[in-house]
Amino acid sequence: MADPARRGLLVTFEGPEGSGKSTLIRGLADRLRTLRSPVVVAREPGGTPAGERIRAVLLDPSLPELCPETELLLMVASRAQLVREVVLPSLAAGSIVLCDRYADASVAYQGAGRGLGKARVDALNDFALAGATPDLTLLCLLPPAAGRRRFGSRDPDRLEREPADFHERVYAAYLDMAASGDPRFRTLDASVPPAGQVEQAVAHLRRLEHDLLTGL
């Protein structure tokens, strides 16, 4: 699956709210660093100074009137900046890039959740990515109701506050990706403890047979 002409490796992590992606990425990054491979951790939206400002707007619960088209364009703008400022330079330098959400998030959240459609999202993603497609995408699958129970007492952000039917559409889109037959997508059972998720991720990474993963 990995592009032999690419020195680095791009692994993205997708899933509904509360699926444990951030915890998984931290654990996996620690595991990969034991190989002495350079690891870069990024997130979407955000990951750059400009992207973090866009993130603040996108997740601000005081802006419920943000229309779906604006939301999509802001997501793609943050993504374009991340690709050019972080992802492409890191891949060229031979790093393993672990990104918490990426282009598939817009397919799920804006394409399905907001009803804007996959074709429209794909066209904008093609423009934003500049060829920086993932070598592997790990889908952390957890039903939305279970994910929402993990929020605890913290205040949910603007997207987390969306009604249950929105989150069900997002989850259904991720299930469609898992069932698509595309070898880029691999699924994780996000209901297991964090250590178990890391082991699942490691098993999928080993199948890439990439030089940066030797000894994993």
CATH of the domain at 203: 3.40.50.300
Residue 1 has pLDDT above 50, yes or no: no
**pLDDT for 4:** 45
| pLDDT tier for residue 99 given thresholds of 50, 70 and 90 | very high
Place of tokens 């992606």: 21
Is position 3 within any domain? Answer: no
Q: What is the pLDDT of residue 153?
A: 67
The count of structural domains within the chain is 1
Burial of 98 (0-12, 13-18, 19+ CB in 10 A): buried
Mean pLDDT, residues 185-195 = 95
Evaluate if residue 119 carries a pLDDT over 90: yes
Question: What does DSSP assign to residue 86?
Answer: I
Mean model confidence pLDDT for the chain: 94
Q: How far apart are CA 111 and CA 173, in angstroms?
A: 9
| pTM of the predicted model as reported, rounded to 2 decimal places | 0.94
User: Is 4 within the bounds of a domain?
Assistant: no
pLDDT band at 6 (very low <50, low <70, confident <90, very high): low
**153 vs 102 pLDDT, higher one:** 102
Is residue 213 one of the residues assigned to a domain? no
- Over the stretch 26-85, which tens digit does the pLDDT of each residue have? 999 999 999 998 999 999 999 999 999 999 999 999 998 999 999 999 999 999 999 999
Instruction: Evaluate if residue 112 carries a pLDDT over 80.
Output: yes
Task: Give the pLDDT band of residue 2 (cuts 50, 70, 90).
Answer: very low
Greater confidence (151 vs 114) lies with: 114
Instruction: Answer whether 79's CB lies under 8 Å from 103's CB.
Output: yes
Q: Which residue has the tokens 């699956």?
A: 1
* pLDDT above 90 for 197: yes
HSE-up of residue 77 (Cα within 13 Å, Cβ side): 15
CA 118 – CA 6 distance, rounded (Å) = 27
Please check whether residue 140 is in contact with residue 190, taking contact to mean a CB–CB distance below 8 angstroms: yes
How large a percentage of the chain has pLDDT more than 90?
89
Give a yes or no: residue 215 inside a domain.
no
Q: Give the domain range for residue 88.
A: 9-208
